[in-house]
Amino acid sequence: MNSGDRHGAAVRPPVVNGGNTSIASPAVKQQRFSEVRILMYSHDTFGLGHLRRCRAIAHALVGRFKGIHVLIISGSQIAGAFDFKARVDFVKIPSVIKLYNGEYTSIGRHIDIQETLEWRKEIIRSTAASFDPDLFIVDKEPLGLKGELLPTLDMLKRRSCRMVAGLRDVMDDAEALRAEWDRRDTLKLMDRYYDDIFIYGPQGFWNPLVDLTLPPGLESRLTYTGFLRRETPAAALSSIENLPERYILVTAGGGGDGAPLMRAALAGHAADPAGTPLLLVLGPFMRTDDRDEIRRLAARLPKVRVIDFHPQTELLLQRASAVVSMAGYNTFCEVLSLDKPALLVPRTQPRKEQLIRATRAAELGLVDALMPEEAADPAVMARHLRNLPDRPRPLAAGADRMLGGLEQICEEVRGHFENMHRRDVFLPPAAE
């Protein structure tokens, strides 16, 4: 692929929800497989996005197919805070932190990052060896963090495991992604190891591999799945009392770099205190000093509520009149799925991913978007907060036609395994 078409390529289209006027996912009869094992990898160095995306896919698979077992390898520090369905489990690998300059460090101050990476690499390889998956789905980083998946990819390829690289709808701007992947020979290694490349967005929204020259044959393995539809769990918000009847949800995902958004929302609300109440969800990774400052600012405003974290943000979003957020993938999918008016204020460094997503979504009329410097103007933010609950909803801009991702992934898995007989489990020889 060496194309200037940033919005898509001639590849297999996503399964979509047709012309339905409802945002709800179509009912699908559950099927049974005989002991299919799916391993997923979620490197998780910053925020919650990778784990939440893998969890959504895993839950869709076990909901659609009996006999499937999913194991997620995750580096998230708070993987245990989330509920997982039966037949979905996770293995925690040592956590590393992605710094604002794009580099990585260990959680423990006195633990060498190279030592941590070696631990992760060995745990991943040994987990894959004993689990012996039929399908391996890798989220966002085809070679893993710092290439940590390469021994596992090589081993599973020799075992005839089918391997899928799952890419976000937007990865980064083309120049930055090309430089990063060229250093690691990523496209050549993807061609060697991966049977399929899933792009978790609809064709025509964005082409995450724009202007990259793909090896011959790799382009035919691309599938645009559509965005991953989210549904609210059958639970009540019993853990959060006295929520206002109407509120604007302000969320920054994991919150590691979400403090500027929270300050901007508070300043905008202070400039128009008669407006819709705000519910701020700070996120588990916000720094303590930022968290304390935001709580002090919010305490001066009687129509503002602040909570640190909730593991079921879909419930908070479902109840909200509108949403103010950064432009992370998962929140964006939730906004579309639950048909909420939204204002996106994207992160612009170190990656351009959120900037591209927010800009493109605003072009399509799905959301409103402000650049961070615009959002920092209290008068500008106040105007957007005032008008936000009444803006046209994503459904009116065609969001339902973009949300076929989970259904498409299930169809791909069904096609892989419908007639598959379970391989004999390979166990390495016991140490003498």
Question: Could you please report the per-residue DSSP string of 316-384?
Answer: HHHH-SEEEE---HHHHHHHHHTT--EEE----SS-SHHHHHHHHHHHTTS-EE--HHHHTSHHHHHHH
pLDDT of residue 289: 96
For each of the chain's 432 residues, which pLDDT tens digit applies?
444 455 654 444 433 333 333 345 555 567 777 789 999 999 865 556 688 899 999 999 999 999 999 999 998 877 767 789 999 999 999 888 665 445 555 555 556 778 888 999 999 999 999 999 999 999 999 999 999 999 999 999 999 999 999 999 999 999 999 999 999 999 999 999 999 999 999 999 999 999 999 999 999 999 999 999 998 766 655 556 678 889 999 999 888 899 999 999 999 999 999 999 999 999 888 999 999 999 999 999 999 999 998 877 888 999 999 999 999 999 999 999 999 999 999 999 889 999 999 999 999 999 999 999 999 999 999 999 999 999 999 999 999 999 999 999 999 999 988 766 544 444 444 443
The encoded tokens of residue 16 equal: 């979509």
Of 200, 138, 201, 209, the residue nearest 173 (C-alpha): 209
Question: Which residue matches tokens 């206002």?
Answer: 244
Half-sphere exposure of 421 (CA within 13 A, CB side): 1
Instruction: Give CA separation, 181 vs 128, 186, 188, 262, in Å.
Output: 25, 5, 10, 34
Say what angle helices 150-158 and 113-131 make with each other, to 10 degrees: 20
Q: What is the pTM of this model?
A: 0.87
Angle at 121 between CA 117 and CA 125, to 5 degrees: 170
Gap between the Cα atoms of 58 and 69, Å rounded: 9
End-to-end CA distance of the chain: 50
Report the residue count for the chain: 432
CB atoms under 10 Å from CB of 115, counted, come to: 12
Gap between the Cα atoms of 205 and 339, Å rounded: 18
Gap between the Cα atoms of 127 and 58, Å rounded: 18
Residue 408 contacts residue 26 (beta carbons within 8 Å): no
Helix (H, G, I), strand (E, B) or coil at 64: helix
pLDDT of residue 97: 67
Residue 56 contacts residue 82 (beta carbons within 8 Å): no
- 177 CB contacts (<8 Å, ≥6 apart)? 171, 208, 209, 212
CB atoms under 10 Å from CB of 56, counted, come to: 21
Domains in the chain with CATH codes = 31-229+403-417 (3.40.50.2000), 248-398 (3.40.50.2000)
Query: Strand 222-224 to strand 104-106: parallel, antiparallel, or no bridges (unpaired)?
Result: unpaired
Strand partners, 203: none
Gap between the Cα atoms of 420 and 31, Å rounded: 14
